[in-house]
Structure 1
Amino acid sequence: MNRLATLAAPAAAEEVESPALIAVGEEAHERLRYTRTEIEDFARLSGDANPLHRDRKAAERAHFGEIIASGQQTVSRLLGLLASRFSRSDDGLARELLVLNVNFAFKAPVFAEQDLHLVWRVTQLEPSHRGGVIAHVDGRAGVAGKPCVIGRATLRVRAPGG
């Protein structure tokens, strides 16, 4: 019996549980750093014409002092980490992932050449009536322990065809 099924009903004594596809407390981490060129290129390629992402004078007038990364640049990295972690099969367990909902809030700017730490943490699981489990996850991108972007997502994770 898949361990996820035990969320809905206790396993019979003779059944052996398999490893969970996702677990409360599970985390995904990534560390990265944007270059000034990457910030400018991402803004251009994504259609973000805000001068704060390419014009130092505009960034100085806005009291940032230097260009800042587009919010969608950090959000895209957070979403990529989320999808990669919870759809992985590198541990021998195939998974299907569907992102049901995601929200982000921007707390501080991200500058070039800063060490950015991304993390997602599973906070709650509940059975899904469509198979698998509904997972609630909290995420953040931070610099030096201070949050720059925070997020919350709801996912459905299940075994293929589950």
Structure 2
Amino acid sequence: MTATHCLTASMIEVGMRHESRLSFSREDVEHYCRLVGDHNAIHRDLAAARVRFPEARDIIVPGGLIQTRISAIFGTAFPGDGTLGLTFVPERLRRPIYPGDDLVITIEVARILRGGILEMRIGVADPEGNRVTEATAKVVPPDDAYHQWWQDQIAHQDTN
């Protein structure tokens, strides 16, 4: 099992935070664009990227790839395995992101809604703390039955 956490709604409190670091390679961009059918030239051709963003030093990482990798944090690290995504509302990126750029992703529980739905605040910054974008998301953490299954899987792996 590769998940690092499996937190249920009863284990989570408003204000809890998680921080992750992300970066993307040109290969990540190529795989993502092929998978989703994104044929935008700015994601594969530096000349096209420079027409749109004259200061571009490389191709542009798709915003959807950044969003997808943030969503993966929900399902692996915070709240963790078994989490279901409901909504993801990104703000516009303040600047282009290039392959090799490091991003610091901060996820904070803003509210716990009826039914254990979590409203999350997401901050995306560069390593110096300059804001790149923000987003909000609503996710449903796993329930107690799923958490028990997850713990059983971890225990089973430890015995093998």
User: Normalised by the size of structure 1, how large is the TM-score?
Assistant: 0.71
- The answer on 1:149 being equivalent to 2:129 is no
Secondary structure in 1 matching 2:31: helix
Paired residue for 2:86?
A: 100
The AA in structure 2 aligned to 1:97 is T
Structure 2 distance, partners of 1:39, 1:100, is: 25
Alignment match of 1:76 (pick from 68, 71, 76): 68
Structure 1 distance, partners of 2:124, 2:100, is: 15
Unaligned 5+ runs, structure 1:
5-19, 89-95
Paired residue for 1:160?
A: 145
Question: Runs ≥4 in structure 1, deviation > 4 angstroms?
Answer: none
Deviation at 1:97, TM superposition (A): 3.0
The AA in structure 2 aligned to 1:68 is I
Asked if the contact 2:110/2:119 (under 8 Å) is kept, the reply is yes
Unaligned 5+ runs, structure 2:
1-7, 147-160
Higher normalized contact order (CA 8 Å, seq sep 6+, divided by chain length): 2
Deviation at 1:46, TM superposition (A): 2.2
Structure 1 distance, partners of 2:99, 2:84, is: 32
Deviation at 1:41, TM superposition (A): 3.0
Structure 2 distance, partners of 1:61, 1:140, is: 28
Secondary structure in 1 matching 2:60: coil
Asked if the contact 1:21/1:159 (under 8 Å) is kept, the reply is no
- The answer on 1:111 being equivalent to 2:95 is no
If each structure's helix is expressed as a fraction of its own residues, which one has the higher value? 2
Secondary structure in 2 matching 1:57: helix
Q: Which has the larger radius of gyration?
A: 1
State the identity as a percent.
Answer: 23
Asked if the contact 2:43/2:62 (under 8 Å) is kept, the reply is yes
User: Normalised by the size of structure 2, how large is the TM-score?
Assistant: 0.72
If each structure's strand is expressed as a fraction of its own residues, which one has the higher value? 1
RMSD: 2.4
Structure 1 distance, partners of 2:28, 2:12, is: 33
Asked if the contact 1:69/1:111 (under 8 Å) is kept, the reply is yes
Deviation at 1:56, TM superposition (A): 0.5
Q: 1:48 to 1:64 in 2, by over 3 A?
A: farther
Alignment match of 1:35 (pick from 4, 25, 31): 25
The AA in structure 2 aligned to 1:119 is T
The AA in structure 1 aligned to 2:68 is S
Q: 1:49 to 1:103 in 2, by over 3 A?
A: same
- The answer on 1:58 being equivalent to 2:48 is yes
